Structure 1
Amino acid sequence: MARRETALQAAHGRLRELIGSEFRSGDKLPNERDLAERLEVSRATVREVLGQLAAEGVVTRTWGIGTFVHDGAERVPVSISDVTALRDRITASGHRPTLQDAAVSRATCPPDCAKVLGLAPEAPVWRVDRLFAVDGVPAAWIRDHLPLSFDGRDLDPSGLVSIDLDMFEFLASATGMPVCRAEIELAAVLADEESTARLGVALGHPLITATQIGYGSNGAALFHGHFTVRTDVLTLKLSRGGDPQPTR
């Protein structure tokens, strides 16, 4: 038993040394077989050591995706259960949100967006790209599309390049109709080249992407967006209460 514990301790130290010398925060580690060959131990030993390192916060493990070097940064919990600006959700968690990059331009409406907004395929729309950071660390990249006009009112989203104006606030002012409901569909993905460039993570880093549609009080869709989140910086919290009780 003592010999096995000594072997595990040796493998533990060697793997920590390997991670510290060859990998950076957010990097994906080789698979268990490759690590076992490099350390000259069994895959079972590697699996046990990785479990220890995960418990210590050195790595994060995602089933079906892989093992990644943890950056040690505190994750900021944000709720997606209500219609609230991301900026305000981050601030409510005691952290500082900033816009590291933002741009507003005219673009051709993507097919999925055109269907939601009730526009003709390839109709011109506004495209709003924003890169949110938490305490200076890139955390969420959001790309929204919205019509050039709504109910006879021309929309000018140029103010959204400032952290001081949020999409929900802009639409309430510009359309006279607040966003009262948002539908969000989540998916787990691995970082591609564009996500790597935007969020500063390694290729293959685990991310969460979402499609979000905001609706006005009349049921009309006001915007259609996609956002990509670094789960090593932000954690998304979805709360669900019980069924409302009847009232008299």
Structure 2
Amino acid sequence: MARRETALQTAHGRLRELIGSEFRSGDKLPNERDLADRLEVSRATVREVLGQLAAEGVVTRTWGIGTFVHDGAERVPVSIGDVTALRDRITASGHRPTLQDATVSRAKCPADCAKVLGLEPDSPVWRVDRLFAVDGVPAAWIRDHLPLRFDDRDLDPSGLVSIDLDMFEFLASATGMPVRRAEIELAAVLADEESTARLGVAVGHPLITATQIGYGAGGAALFHGHITVRTDVLTLRISRGGD
């Protein structure tokens, strides 16, 4: 095991040196076979090292297209450990958030959403689609569903088409109940045609998706959302605090 780890470390160092000396930001690297020949290691070793370099942000890998030297653009770290507007998290990192696209419409409630909100499947709900950009680059596509009414109050989320109003702010005002807790479940995916159209990436580009549920006092679910994030623009950070 120690010998294998040493071989990986050596290959890792040699590949980083090769990238730094012969390639520029945005360049496509040779395929795994060619790299294995140059480094005199197996393709499996090259594949593992490229995975490490991708995790470190040195390269980006797109299935079916290839591996590229990271373009050097700064990725914006945002914390998902607290209930804070994405707009404010981006601003706090010293970057400019904008809404490139936003729509509010009535839609049929998907089954997973209906279960969370305590509704029948296909019940009418509000659907809010928003495409957030960071410094003009598409970064996060968020699709939220929320009920038409909550505690006998009609909800009108039309103001969410503006960057000036966040979902948490809207719900606190409209329901009289602030979002006290958010549950987020993350998954790694490859871009499909819909996320390609939204986020401006190639099919197969690595993305992170998250399912988010916001709860008010007493555990009442206020909204159910899906978030798709370009991790070459945003990095997600989870912070845990202790007493």
TM-score class, shorter: 0.7 to 0.9
Deviates more, 1:32-41 or 1:232-241: 32-41
Q: CA deviation at 1:32?
A: 1.5
8 Å CA contact retained: 1:27, 1:202: no
1:38 aligns to what? 38
Deviates more, 1:41-50 or 1:222-231: 41-50
Matched residues in 1 for 2:2 and 2:171: separation?
A: 66
1:107 aligns to what? 107
TM-score by length of 1: 0.78
Matched residues in 2 for 1:8 and 1:189: separation?
A: 26
Q: CA deviation at 1:7?
A: 18
8 Å CA contact retained: 2:61, 2:68: yes
Relative distance call for 1:57 and 1:240 in structure 2 (3 A) is: closer
8 Å CA contact retained: 2:212, 2:225: yes
Q: CA deviation at 1:43?
A: 3.9
**Secondary structure at the counterpart of residue 218 of structure 1:** helix
Show CA shifts across 1:13-47 (max 9, x none): 99999999999988997851376699999748966
Q: CA deviation at 1:53?
A: 7.7
RMSD of the alignment, in Å? 5.4
TM-score by length of 2: 0.80
Q: CA deviation at 1:202?
A: 1.1
Matched residues in 1 for 2:119 and 2:154: separation?
A: 15
Show CA shifts across 1:109-128 (max 9, x none): 00000000000111000000
Matched residues in 1 for 2:183 and 2:52: separation?
A: 38
Gaps of 5+ in 2: none
Aligned length: 243
Q: CA deviation at 1:183?
A: 0.4
Relative distance call for 1:103 and 1:30 in structure 2 (3 A) is: farther
Matched residues in 1 for 2:56 and 2:238: separation?
A: 27
8 Å CA contact retained: 1:28, 1:202: no
Deviates more, 1:142-151 or 1:68-77: 68-77
**Secondary structure at the counterpart of residue 139 of structure 1:** strand
Q: CA deviation at 1:137?
A: 0.6
Relative distance call for 1:208 and 1:197 in structure 2 (3 A) is: same
Matched residues in 2 for 1:56 and 1:81: separation?
A: 22
Matched residues in 2 for 1:82 and 1:152: separation?
A: 28
Show CA shifts across 1:155-191 (max 9, x none): 0000000000000000011101111110000011111
Deviates more, 1:67-76 or 1:165-174: 67-76
Gaps of 5+ in 1: 244-248
**Secondary structure at the counterpart of residue 24 of structure 1:** coil
Matched residues in 2 for 1:224 and 1:53: separation?
A: 35
Show CA shifts across 1:136-170 (max 9, x none): 01000000000001000000000000000000000
8 Å CA contact retained: 1:26, 1:201: no
Relative distance call for 1:3 and 1:236 in structure 2 (3 A) is: closer
8 Å CA contact retained: 2:144, 2:225: yes
Relative distance call for 1:23 and 1:172 in structure 2 (3 A) is: farther
8 Å CA contact retained: 2:28, 2:66: yes
Matched residues in 1 for 2:153 and 2:114: separation?
A: 19
Show CA shifts across 1:67-101 (max 9, x none): 44423210100011110000000001110000000
